[in-house]
Amino acid sequence: MIVGAGMAGAKGAEALRALGFDGRIALLGDEPHRPYERPPLSKDYLLGKSGFDAAYVHEEGWYAENRVDLQLGVSVQRIDRALRQVELSDGNRIDFDKLLLATGAHPRSLPVPGADAEGVLHLRNVEDSDRIKRTLARVERLVVVGAGWIGLEVTAAARTAGVAVTVVETAELPLLRVLGPEVAQVFADLHRAHGVEFRFGTAVDEIRTAGGRTTGVRLTDGTELPADAVLVAIGVDPEVSLAAQSGLRVQNGVLVDASLRTPDPNIVAAGDVANAFNPLLGKQIRVEHWANALNQPATAAAAMLGRDAEYSELPYFFTDQYDPDAGGIGMEYLGHVDPGGYDRVVFRGDVAAREFIAFWLDGGRVLAGMNVNVWDVQDQLKTLITSGTAVDPDALADPSTPLNDLIAR
């Protein structure tokens, strides 16, 4: 049984069949749509560059052809670990031998007056993306609360649609916790170049309304910002309610080992909800990105079948903001750096032109790399990071020194 019919759940079913499992697979999801990928919701689908059909994980007939019992619009209320059953919202129970939790995450709400007004937006599912798309077509002013990946991607879509955008962020720069000040500044400059106004070091105190509709926001510093709509993008929380109710270990997600097993030998977890031990990094880590939903389920499926398995991929994510051919950014990031967990950032290339690679180092070791409008370097970055050896920062910064030469040293 797989609870959660997003990308991780669909890939879990695919992996079970690929590994030769011939028994019954039940895939339960609370949305009405068959499993789909979420990145297009803030990228190409939101921008109107692709239809929703392009986001589906599998063709419509794949589930029947592979004997996957896909049940949509189904809410799982409880896991009974003793009886190995799940209880549905209609009271029915379904038995399982092995269970994959792929319940994902949900957006955080803004705990201020007016947060439930018409015109306050969140982004998690396709209906949310459609609502944002319709909103951008009719409004003139948008306030985005939160300068993380989702907030900035929707900001880029809004500016592309001609909407005036102000981004409110408690930190001093966008993406500061993830990237550190050196690289976060690149994204601040990018959005300012496209007409975005930032309000850093403050937060929303109240969403102003009239007749139940959003008219603006008041910030904690007293500033009043007019707005026809407000996007709340202050992060997500892992959907751990089922795991917690059943007594599984929960701490910033469902705690699992490197094989994605929980302490219950019959239950595994994958995707946004899994806080997994990563052998390469030597610690527990939960990553809210597409690559985990794509790759972790193969390990989870192997564990469900009693096979030796270990998930040891480096965290990976990507973003597209504005058209790269018109001063925008296409970017990939590989590795992991805790806030303040590095001692130097080295740039290779032209930062002003937004064509560069950034490396985060600690004691000469490369912890992470980000390629911006530079492509086909992921294999070299992975080898640099996983080698664990110190590199010469000057050679790392020198575009005339091939990355492969640094690896060979």
Return the pLDDT at 324: 84
pLDDT of residue 327: 87
From 104, 21, 101, select the one nearest 68 (Cα to Cα): 21
The pLDDT profile of the chain, 409 residues, written as one tens digit per residue, is 999 999 999 999 999 999 999 999 999 999 999 999 999 999 999 999 999 999 999 999 999 999 999 999 999 999 999 999 999 988 999 999 999 999 999 999 999 999 999 999 999 999 999 999 999 999 999 999 999 999 999 999 999 999 999 999 999 999 999 999 999 999 999 999 999 999 999 999 999 999 999 999 999 999 999 999 999 999 999 999 999 999 999 999 999 999 999 999 999 999 999 999 999 999 999 999 999 999 999 999 999 999 999 999 999 999 999 988 888 999 999 999 999 899 999 999 999 999 999 999 999 999 999 999 999 999 999 999 999 889 999 999 999 999 988 886 6
Q: In this predicted structure, what is the pLDDT of residue 325?
A: 82
SS3 assignment for 324-357: HHHCCEEEEEEECCCCCCCCEEEEEEECCCCEEE
Question: For the whole model, what pTM was predicted?
Answer: 0.95
The per-residue pLDDT for 137 is 96
Q: How far apart, in Å, are the Cα atoms of 270 and each of 12, 41, 278?
A: 9, 21, 13
pLDDT of residue 408: 67
Residue 71: other Cβ atoms inside 10 A: 15
Q: What φ, ψ does residue 365 adopt, rounded to 5°? A: -85, 135
Residue 150 near residue 106, CB atoms below 8 Å: no
Closest to 208 in 3D by CA, of 200, 199, 193, 218: 218
